[in-house]
Chain A
Amino acid sequence: KAGVTQTPRYLIKTRGQQVTLSCSPISGHRSVSWYQQTPGQGLQFLFEYFSETQRNKGNFPGRFSGRQFSNSRSEMNVSTLELGDSALYLCASSPRGGADSTDTQYFGPGTRLTVL
Chain B
Amino acid sequence: GDSVTQMEGPVTLSEEAFLTINCTYTATGYPSLFWYVQYPGEGLQLLLKATKADDKGSNKGFEATYRKETTSFHLEKGSVQVSDSAVYFCALSARGGNKLVFGAGTILRVKS
Question: Which residue numbers of A lie inside 8 Å of B, CB to CB?
Answer: 4, 31, 33, 35, 42-45, 48, 50, 55-56, 58, 90, 92, 94, 97-99, 101-110
Bound-state CA distance A4–B97 (Å) is: 19
B32 near A: Cβ within 8 Å? yes
Q: A33-B100, A107-B44, A110-B43 are in contact. List 9 more A-B contacts (CB 8 A).
A: A42-B105, A43-B100, A43-B102, A45-B101, A55-B97, A92-B100, A101-B93, A104-B46, A109-B42
| In the complex, chain B residues whose CB is within 8 Å of the CB of A58 | 99
Q: Are B98 and A94 in contact (CB under 8 A)?
A: yes
Does B94 make an interface contact (CB < 8 A)?
Answer: yes
Instruction: Select from chain B the residue with minimum beta-carbon distance to A41.
Output: B104
Contacts A42-B105, A98-B98; is A107 near B49 (CB within 8 Å)? no
Name which residue of chain A comes closest to B103, CB basis.
A42
B71 within 8 A of A: no
Query: Among B32, B44, B46, B102, which residue has its beta carbon within 8 angstroms of that of A101?
Result: B32
CA distance A98 to B93 in the complex (A): 11
Query: Can you list 24 pairs linking A and B with CB atoms under 8 Å apart?
Result: A42-B102, A42-B104, A43-B89, A43-B91, A43-B102, A44-B102, A45-B101, A48-B97, A50-B98, A56-B99, A90-B43, A90-B44, A92-B98, A101-B31, A101-B93, A102-B32, A105-B46, A105-B98, A106-B46, A107-B43, A107-B45, A109-B42, A109-B43, A110-B43
Q: How far is the CB of B35 from chain A (nearest CB, A)?
A: 12
Residues of A within 8 A of B49 (CB): 102, 104
Q: Please report which residues of chain B, range 66-101, place their CB below 8 angstroms from some CB of chain A when the two chains form the complex.
A: 89, 91, 93-101
Q: Which of B34, B51, B95, B102 contacts A99 (CB 8 A)?
A: B95
Compute how far the CA of A22 lies from the CA of B109 in the bound complex, rounded to whole angstroms.
33
A33 touches B95 (CB 8 A): no
- Name the residue on A nearest B96 (C-beta): A99
Per the bound structure, the CA–CA distance linking A90 and B43 in Å amounts to 7
| Bound-state Cα–Cα, A8 to B72, Å | 37
Smallest CB separation, A68 vs chain B (Å):
13
B43 and A108 contacting across the interface, CB-CB below 8 Å: yes
